[in-house]
Structure 1
Amino acid sequence: MSRGSLLMLLLIALPATAQIHVYTDAHGNTAYSSRPPDGVESQVIEPAPMNTLSLPTSPTTVQAAPRTENTRAYSTLELTGLPTHEALRANNGTFTVDVRIEPRLQEAHRLRLLLDGQPYGQPSNVPRLQLVNIDRGEHSLAVQVLAGDTPVQQSPAITFSLQRARKP
């Protein structure tokens, strides 16, 4: 054990060995201190034993089955609000898409878009995502469910065409 580790253990254990002194101050109030006051009679209080909790002898927790490639966290995960048979008109290249997800998004999960196969924007827990200043032309868009930085599930990609007004 290194000196630093030993020193840390001693510092942590020090408050556990400290005594508590009780005395009556000059105004007649009961006071407590970690050191006996000068010139005043005090008594040392022994703290009550600390509460402890023992672990059950038999395991009561249920462990989840390990996730395999074929296990899906969500029965439905898809993008909605994108036209697939006609061009999407967004003159400034900004538009929103909705995510249909069932069951509801788990608290530890986030949604992130994949635009043309590349991550787009920050992960979010809101099932309505915005794209900003997207170039005109044909694109593919999908949504991923992330656990931290790890993809858990991905929707099928939707191909769409974005139409923007040309600058004069």
Structure 2
Amino acid sequence: MRLSLLILALLISPLNHATVYKWVDEDGKVHFSDEPVKNAEVVEFNKNTENQVKLPQPYIKAESTQLPADRLNYKMRITSPSEEETIRSNEGEISIAVQLEPKLASSHLLVLFMDGKQYGDAQQRGLFRVTNIDRGEHSFIIKALTQDGKLLASTPPRKVFLHRTIQNRAR
């Protein structure tokens, strides 16, 4: 039963197109409606009265080769010291250099992590100096961050060994 009603409705719907009626009121205003009104006449539309809208071709802006600062894809690596390098420093000083491509955006910062903890303040330069470090094995990672702390890139961990002479002060 429902199927036959559906088929009937589909067959009748093309025949039931909207009729437009036109009439003029007492003030002389012209009105159009889809419902008949007293003294209304049916408006016939010719094929040539249909609107043909042609849209202009979309303007395609040439792609910028420069990404916005918050979407830069940094490639980072620690260049010095080398992996598992042994550093001899009685003062416990190590200098860490990072290579970064592309150049660091002015709104981004570099942060050094030593043994999983942040060491010092964030900075723009790719050269870090750690001082008064205990002897032994240390792991360094440098991260590029946005001003609000979002991680953009990180170096792989770099393991180094610090040898530091300790003087026995027992007398």
Task: State the TM-score bracket (shorter-chain normalisation).
Answer: 0.5 to 0.7
2:150 — aligned with what? 150
Question: For residues 156 and 98 of structure 1, what CA distance do their matches in structure 2 show?
Answer: 13
Give 3-state SS (helix, strand or coil) of 1:87's partner.
strand
Give 3-state SS (helix, strand or coil) of 2:99's partner.
strand
Q: Does 1:104 align with 2:113?
A: no
79-88 vs 105-114, greater mean Cα deviation: 79-88
Q: Which amino acid aligns with 1:130?
A: R
Q: How do 1:23-102 and structure 2 match up within 5 A?
A: 73-74=73-74, 76-102=75-101
User: Aligned pair in 2 of structure 1 residues 101, 86: CA closer, same or farther (>3 Å)?
Assistant: closer
Question: For residues 128 and 100 of structure 1, what CA distance do their matches in structure 2 show?
Answer: 9
Question: For residues 152 and 124 of structure 1, what CA distance do their matches in structure 2 show?
Answer: 15
For structure 1, which runs of at least 5 residues remain unmatched after alignment?
1-59
Q: Which amino acid aligns with 2:131?
A: V
Aligned partners of 1:113 and 1:141 also within 8 Å: yes
1:28 — aligned with what? none
Give 3-state SS (helix, strand or coil) of 1:113's partner.
strand
After TM superposition, the runs of 4+ consecutive aligned structure 1 residues lying more than 4 A away are: none
Q: Deviations over 1:101-150 (max 9, x none)?
A: 01111111111111011111100001111111111101110100010222
1:132 — aligned with what? 131
Which TM-score applies when normalising by structure 2? 0.54
Q: Which amino acid aligns with 2:160?
A: F
Q: How many residues align?
A: 102
- Larger Rg, first or second structure (1 or 2): 2
Question: For residues 72 and 139 of structure 1, what CA distance do their matches in structure 2 show?
Answer: 29
User: Aligned pair in 2 of structure 1 residues 86, 126: CA closer, same or farther (>3 Å)?
Assistant: closer
Identical pairs, percent: 28
For structure 2, which runs of at least 5 residues remain unmatched after alignment?
1-60
Give 3-state SS (helix, strand or coil) of 1:134's partner.
coil
Aligned partners of 2:84 and 2:159 also within 8 Å: no
Which TM-score applies when normalising by structure 1? 0.54
Instruction: Give 1:84 deviation, angstroms.
Output: 2.7
